[in-house]
Every structure is written in C-alpha cells, then in structure tokens.
Amino acid sequence: MSSVTCQMSISLDTSVFTRNSLSDVQRELTQAVLLTGLVLLVFLHTFRLQGNGAYIMGRKMFGGGNGQWDETWTGWWGDEPPYHAPVFVLSHHSRKPISMRGGTTFSFVTEGIDSALAQARAAAGDKNVAIAGGASTVQQYLAAGLLDELYLHIVPVILGAGERLLEGVSDPTLEPVKVIVSTAVTHVTYRVVHKARR
C-alpha cells in the first residue's frame, strides 16, 4: 500500500507559517531566511510533488473564506496549480469538482478525513497520498494514526503566533530518518511509528 506523507514549513516553536500569523517584521525576517535556502527547498518540494498520486488539504489551505462557497474562487495558485493530480479538499460545505489546467482537479469532501483518504488512495493508485495542509488537517491525520511520513522544513525564527503543528496530536512516535542542514533551513524526515508496528 502507498504511504500517506506530509511536508510543512514551521518555525522553531512549531508554528505553521500562515498569512495571518506573521507581523511585518517577522514576515521580512522569515522571507530573508527562507530565500537563503530557497534552491534546496524548491528542489526537495519538486521532487516530492512528483512522487504523489493525490493530495488532501483543508478548507483554509484551499482558501475562499468560511461558510458557503464563493463559486468564483478556484484557489491561490492561478489557472495551473502545482499539483497536477487529484486534490481532495475537506469542507463542511459541498461543491462541484473544479478541473484546472495541468491535470489538477479539486474535489470537495464533506464526509471527513477517512472518506477523503479513501478517495485519495483510490485516485493515487500505487503512488503516495500527500497531506498538503493546513495545520488542522495535518493534526487530524497525525492524531488518527493515518500519517506515515512527515517532512519538516524548520526555519530558525520564533513566531510566537499562529497554529502549532504538533499541538493536540497526542504523543506520536516520530523516528528521524534523514536530516539535511543549512544555515537557513533544517530539513528533517520522520517516519511515524504506528503502535501496531512498534
């Protein structure tokens, strides 16, 4: 069976970078630090995107506000999102699928994380399913024991605000598999050790 993976950029205090979590000063500092390690980060991100057969993301990650859908909203990424695969968006409000240029189709799932994962696995075939964020979606899959691998890009700043990625996920066992260090970003690959595998 294929793996369920996730990669996220976080601060030293495990906060996830969001549009609302950074002050102007923090944003400028974070952008400067991230740019230093941008080439390596883009390489890793592109490599991992290529190995995925489907994605799952939350409503906030897809965007478009809360409540009933604004049918004109099709995501942050323009006409050709970077996924080039089926993307399943968790939502409390139904919406017809949106097909985009480049092979990305956004489907909206109102039946919860198990249903989204089942649909994503069916669409991905032998390829991996990636949890694309945001923090709440990652937390739900981690707490439910449904995540197999976690890639963290740790930026050396303290936000003191925003969503804490590892908050409310019980006590998962994260086994370090690979570490790539630079002065700007530390990349850590963890295997999530499930109880049945210990």
pLDDT tens across 134-193, in order?
899 999 999 999 999 999 988 887 777 778 888 888 888 999 999 988 877 888 999 999
Let me know if residue 12 belongs to a domain. yes
Q: Is 34 in contact with 186 (CB distance < 8 Å)?
A: no
Let me know if residue 73 belongs to a domain. no
Please state the domain count of the chain.
1
Percent share of the chain, pLDDT over 90: 51
Let me know if residue 56 belongs to a domain. yes
CATH for 57 = 3.40.430.10
pLDDT tens across 87-98, in order?
999 999 999 999
- Looking up tokens 């390690």 gives 37
pLDDT band with cut points at 50, 70 and 90 for residue 132: very high
User: Taking the model in full, what pTM does it have?
Assistant: 0.85
Q: What own/partner pairs with CB < 8 Å and gap ≥ 24 does 188-194 have?
A: 188/151, 188/152, 188/154, 189/149, 189/150, 189/151, 190/149, 190/150, 190/151, 190/152, 191/148, 191/149, 192/142, 192/145, 192/147, 192/148, 192/149, 192/150, 194/145
Let me know if residue 72 belongs to a domain. no
Percent share of the chain, pLDDT over 70: 81
